Every structure is written in structure tokens, then in C-alpha cells.
Amino acid sequence: MITVELLWLAAGAVVAGIISGILGGLFGIGGGAIIVPVLFEAFSLLGVSEAVRMQLCIGTSLAIIVPIAIRSYRQHKAQGAVLSDVLRLWMIPSVIGVAVGAALAALAPPETFKIAFVLIAVVIAAKLLFGGDRWVLARELPGTGAMNGFGFVIGLGSSLMGIAGGALAVMVLTLYGKPIRSAVATGAGVGVPITIAGTIGYILAGLPHQAALPPLSIGFVSIPGVVLIAPLSSWVAPFGARLAHKLQQRTLEIAFSCYLLLAASRFIASMLS
């Protein structure tokens, strides 16, 4: 039975690796919104304790996304679309936000992370489905204090949801009238420090819970999950980044929004059951 379950895990990991890599390059997201729900179902099937399952999904997702974020950022940087000033402003506060999220992973109940995933997923889906160019607060970015605050929120939200932060960064930048290509490229860039810091944070946060975690886990990071998904995701990420500069994205935005809403519904159902 375990062999069959592991085969299903491997098959799901391959699909998730390909999809998350393409989405990581295309939307400037690391694919965590895809990876976390897939891992949640896989770890549920393998009997991982509810008390640590969501944290394990998020930590593993962040570790998987590290190479995706790096390759996606390099590809976008080569296109010259990255807003370097914004990236520098967000670097430190986003890492602080990640650290707070990792600390919560060691202390907070799993429902905290499900609620965070649902709220962030619904906001992102609503922006993609209904916002478009109509959701604009101003045509210029706010001051340094507000930008630091945005950076912190992006880091915190990312570490609670298991994403690289690109989707949140894109939302902020487009709200202030920045072109979608520059927003996507900058979102890819902010994902690099977020995923690296998040991986380290979730490893440390999970060490006191090691006895409750499945074999071959280091803190809240599953090594089999990383090994199965990360290489495929990293390999296909540049293809998605190239597509981002060539294709109309509306159909993909709608499809991704529907997936987010479906995943959010699954977590709501798990909290109510």
C-alpha cells in the first residue's frame, strides 16, 4: 500500500513540478499556490499528522521554489524589466516578514496557515478575475515607509502561504500603475530572498517537532518532496518567463484564479470537517 501511495506522490510531484515552474516564470510566482495544495493531499494520504502537515507543506514548498525563483529572476533581469529601486527597498523588510512567519510556524496552530492561504488566494484570484487595470490607487509609488510596510506584508504573507511573494508584489505594483511586465519581473526578484530565508526559517521552526514529521524531513522541509519537484520546476521556469514577454495572459489568469479558489475551498472544507 505504501508503495502505491509513494507512486501517487511521485506522479503528483511531477505534474506539480512542471506546472509550478511554468507559472513561476509566467506570473513571477514561485508556484507555491500550486505546490502547497498538492503536498497537502499527498501528505494526508501518507498519514502525516494534522498538527504539522500544513507547516510541512509550506516549508517544503518554499525550499522547492528557491531554484525556480533564482532562474526566473535571472531570466526577467536579462529582459531589463526589473525595478531595481523597489527590489532594494523590499529586500530587508520582506526577510523580516518571513522571519515572523517562520516563528509562527513553530507556535501557531495549523488553522492559522490554512486561513492565511484562503485569504491571500481569494484576494489574488479576485484581482486577477475582476481587477485588471481598474484596480489602481495611484500612478506613483508611495514613500519609503509605506514601501517598507508592503515589503514586510509580502514577506509575511509569503511565509504563511508557502509562496515566493511574486503574486503579492505584482498586486502592489500594479495598484500603483506599474507596467505588468516590470511588476512580474520585480516580483520574481523579491522571491529570491523570501524563499531562501523562508526555507531556513521553516527548517529551524520544525526541529522541535521532528518526532512528529515523516522520515527524511529536516524541520518542516521534506527532502523527498524537494528532490521530486524542484529539478523539474527549475528546468521549466525559464520557458514560462519567456512566455510572459510574448503572450496574452487573460486565459491563464482566469484558469489560475479558478485553481486558487478551488484550493481555498479545499482548505475551508478541511477546517470545517
- The 3-state DSSP class for residue 159 equals helix
Q: Could you count the other beta carbons within 10 Å of the beta carbon of residue 65?
A: 38
User: What is the C-alpha radius of gyration for the chain, rounded to an integer number of angstroms?
Assistant: 17
Q: Where are the beta strands (DSSP E) in 67-133?
A: none
Q: For residue range 199-253, list pLDDT tens digits in order.
A: 999 999 999 999 999 888 999 999 888 988 878 877 887 887 777 677 665 766 7
Q: Where are the beta strands (DSSP E) in 128-249?
A: 217-218, 221-222
Mean pLDDT of all residues in 26-37: 74
Q: Is the pLDDT of residue 6 over 90?
A: no
Distance between CA atoms of residues 35 and 65, nearest Å: 9
Phi, psi values for residue 215, rounded to 5° = -55, 155
Distance between CA atoms of residues 95 and 118, nearest Å: 22
Distance between CA atoms of residues 195 and 181, nearest Å: 21
